[in-house]
Amino acid sequence: SQWGEENLQALSIQEGEDVTMNCSYKTYTTVVHWYRQDSGRGPALIILIRSNEREKRSGRLRATLDTSSQSSSLSITAAQCEDTAVYFCATDSNTDKVVFGTGTRLQVSP
């Protein structure tokens, strides 16, 4: 899981496997964004889930949000090599300040 000053997490899987990345946050948030960052590029939004939603799907992506435990997860079904990237969660802590998680580096091998 990613948060605070923890080091970047790393996951390595084979193509076709499912994978789940976790994110915990410290204070209330109205929305959790999940971004992916490809090498040499800036982060880009892939899915977001609001505090009144428990689950959100987009293609092979599935995000969940548990406000009681202040945690969110991102799952990728049948991962492909092109899913290799660094994934970040981001919350707003109900303030103007955006806080990004420490990130998970996902490596998908053929």
Give whichever of 2 and 64 is closer to other proteins, judged by the CB atom.
2
Residue labelled with tokens 């948030």? 29
92 in Cβ contact with 30 (< 8 Å): yes
Quote the CA–CA distance of 104 and 88 in Å, as a whole number: 7
Which tokens belong to 25?
């946050």
Looking at 52-60, 61-69, 75-83, 89-97, which segment touches other proteins (CB under 8 A)? Answer: 89-97
Could you say which DSSP state residue 68 is in?
T
Among 13-21, 57-65, 73-81, 85-93, which window interacts with other proteins (CB under 8 A)? 85-93
CA-to-CA separations, 80 to 15, 17, 19, 89, in angstroms, rounded: 5, 8, 11, 20
- In the bound state with other proteins, the residue whose beta carbon lies nearer, of 9 and 77, is 9
- Which of 43, 64 has the CB closer to other proteins? 43
Q: Give min distance, CB of 17 to other proteins, in A.
A: 23
Structure tokens at 57: 């799907």
| Identified binder of other proteins from the candidate list 42, 68, 69, 82, rule CB under 8 A | 42
Contacting positions for other proteins (CB under 8 A):
7-8, 29-31, 33, 37, 40-45, 48, 86, 88, 90-92, 95-100, 102-103, 105
